[in-house]
Amino acid sequence: MRRPFGAIDLVYGWSGVGVVGESFVPAAIVGTVHTGDGSPFTLDSAGEPSGCMEAPVQTVRGDEADVERRLRRAVLRCPCSGALGPWGHARERLVRSGSGSRRVRPRRARCRSCRATHVLLPVWLFSRRAWAGVVMWACVLARLAGVKIAAIAARAGVAASTVGSWLRRIGGRAEWWRQLLMGVLAMLDPRARRVDPAGSPLADAVAVLDALLALLRTRDHEMATLTLWELASHLTRAHLFAPSLDVDGCNTSLFGMPAVDPS
């Protein structure tokens, strides 16, 4: 079992280990998502949505210069398979993390074939959330370790109501998500060993996600720095913690596979 607060201690450096993910943008690795929800949104101070996204979302890894380079080289693709090109920026938003706050203005792109526009959301974020994914994931792991919501919120510096809403949403989707992840794992490696039950639907889902990440790292050395929360964001089109999970199937473009349908 994970040590209570272990994940959060690592994130915030409370154990003297140092801050994990202090740089907001990880090493450049492509991770492209298909279409998500499509209307504009802003985030209030509690991290709750006051609107919707400006355009369908794709998640991308890499710093701003790397994303710009891939856009201009037509590396990033639309769900229709057309090349994406530069198309301005989305609305600026304030994102909080254990190492402080940062204003983020995601790049927008337009498909050269179907002319659809997309917001290129950094994969370390979840859609419609004002907190970095590393903070949200640390709260999930602490809850799985048996820590009470009030204690998690106090340690993470997040309102208890916000932490509670994150946990209710991911917990309510856990069994659906576990089944999707098992499907992806089986497609990637039909010989993959069965993941042992971890004690709850959410713990089971996280265990499968962990197995999927381990398998992905053995197949592609460029994925060595990929984190669990980034993989979770990518697979759910960044909507895992959103008020409504408006996704169809599971995004598997990281693996060069078609989308996986939950059925």
Residue 82 lies in a domain: no
Q: Which mean pLDDT values do the consecutive 10-residue runs of the chain (263 residues) have?
A: 43 34 26 28 30 60 86 85 89 86 90 90 87 94 95 94 95 91 86 82 94 88 87 87 67 52 36
The pLDDT, as a whole number, for residue 25 is: 26
Residue 141's pLDDT is 95
In a domain, 60, yes or no: no
Residue with tokens 């106090």: 154
Question: How far is 66 from 29, CA to CA, in rounded Å?
Answer: 9
The reported pLDDT for the residue numbered 28 is: 25
pTM of the model: 0.74
In whole angstroms, what is the distance from residue 242 CA to residue 158 CA?
Answer: 17
Q: Is residue 247 part of a domain?
A: yes
Q: How far is Cα 190 from Cα 12, in angstroms, rounded to an integer?
A: 38
Q: What is the pLDDT of residue 98?
A: 77
How far from 170 is each of 14, 91, 173, 254, CA to CA, in Å? 26, 26, 5, 22
Residue 208's domain comprises 6-21+131-255
In a domain, 100, yes or no: no
Residue 20 vs residues 12, 13, 61, 99, 244: alpha-carbon distances, Å: 7, 8, 17, 9, 29
The pLDDT, as a whole number, for residue 259 is 38
Residue 41 in any domain: the answer is no
Residue 226 belongs to some domain of the structure: yes
| Domain count for the chain | 1
Side-by-side strand order, sheet with 107-111: 57-60, 117-122, 107-111, 84-89
Task: Please spell the DSSP secondary structure of the chain, one letter per residue.
Answer: -PPTTHHHHHHHTTTSS--TT-SSS-S-----------S---B-TTS-BSS--SS-EEEE-S-HHHHHHHHHTT-SB-TTSPBEEEEEE---EEEEETTEEEEE--EEEEETTT--EEEEEETTS-TT-SB-HHHHHHHHHHHHTT--HHHHHHHHTS-HHHHHHHHHHHHHTHHHHHHHHHHHHHHH-TTPPPPPP-SSHHHHHHHHHHHHHHHHHHH-GGGTT--HHHHHHHHTTT-TTSSS----SB--GGGT-PPBP--
CB neighbours of residue 156 within 10 Å: 22
Q: Give φ, ψ of 136 to 5 degrees.
A: -65, -40
pLDDT of residue 42: 27
At residue 22, the pLDDT reads 26
Predicted pLDDT of residue 153:
95
Dist CA 248 CA 54 (whole Å): 19
| Domain contains 218 | yes
Residue 93 lies in a domain: no
